[in-house]
Amino acid sequence: MVNQNSIKTSRINSHLSLSQIKTLCIDFTSLSSVPKSISISSSRLNDEQPIPLERLGIILDYSERGILPLLYARLFPRLDPERCSYQVAGRPFKSGHWVKLSGQQQSTSMLLAWTRIRSLDISGTIPYTYDGARDHLAGLPPPSTDQRRVFRLHLASLLSSAFPDSSAFPDSEFLVDSVGENSDVYELDRMQDGSVVLVVKSEEEKGEVEAAVRTSQEIARWRHVFAVELET
């Protein structure tokens, strides 16, 4: 990783092939400034092959928005989308649970353009971008008709991000309605049954969220798209 002041390199055991690594978590929250570039050496992996991770975790401080386009442009295209799901997590962003990339990014062509991604876990903050006529989750094209793509939204972290200074969060109906109000971002019209999974921490919360899904008018058209499950 390179920042304005110095070159910072994180090394994994040099004798370990990248093809042997199954899970990789990259934590940017301790950096004092946004790196200007990201490079993963694939000297032990044929450059024609994508990095065969099964899970990638990215932990960010969302006050440093510039890192998101950098990740999409430099790191994510190297992954195998049929094998790798990824998690976008981070410290709460003070202005809410959405990070809008327009204005920071002149063109969406640099953003991630996987067409076969299967699973996306979202914690803390939801990055999205504006592309011409609509908003959408950053870099993700609409799901194809033969593909079931799953969004797992971790409600506790998203609520705490939306209200970082409050000790009493609104109930989960707020976030359920928020998803419905931003149906274009999630491509709800093209999602299959049970493909938006609301992840909760307790049986009590699970009951509350299931009730919110049943009664929310904002998601009435897409009720079948939602599922609720306990965090494992």
Cα 176-81-11 angle, rounded to 5 deg: 105
* C-alpha to C-alpha distance for 50 and 21, rounded to whole angstroms: 13
pTM: 0.74
pLDDT value at 227 more than 70:
yes
pLDDT value at 5 more than 50:
no
If we measure between CA atoms, which residue out of 188, 179, 134 comes closest to residue 154?
A: 179
The phi, psi pair for 220, rounded to 5°, reads: -55, -40
CB-based burial label for 119 (10 Å; 0-12, 13-18, 19+):
middle
* C-alpha to C-alpha distance for 107 and 101, rounded to whole angstroms: 10
Residue 13 neighbours by CB distance under 10 Å: 8
pLDDT value at residue 229 = 95
Mean pLDDT rounded to a whole number for the chain:
75
* C-alpha to C-alpha distance for 16 and 127, rounded to whole angstroms: 33
Give residue-wise pLDDT tens across range 92-145: 666 667 777 665 444 545 455 455 677 888 887 787 777 666 777 876 766 677
Question: Rounded to whole angstroms, what are the CA distances from 182 to 53, 102, 175, 186?
Answer: 31, 16, 11, 7
**With bands split at pLDDT 50, 70 and 90, how would you rate the model's confidence at 22?**
confident
If we measure between CA atoms, which residue out of 130, 139, 70 comes closest to residue 101?
A: 130
If we measure between CA atoms, which residue out of 57, 74, 68 comes closest to residue 93?
A: 68
pLDDT value at residue 209 = 94
**With bands split at pLDDT 50, 70 and 90, how would you rate the model's confidence at 196?**
very high
Which is more confidently placed, 32 or 6? 32
Give residue-wise pLDDT tens across range 62-92: 666 677 777 766 777 777 777 777 777 776 6
Strands 196-200 vs 150-154: parallel, antiparallel or unpaired: parallel
Lowest mean pLDDT among 52-56, 123-127, 165-169: 165-169
Range among 9-13, 88-92, 145-149, 223-227 rated most confident: 223-227
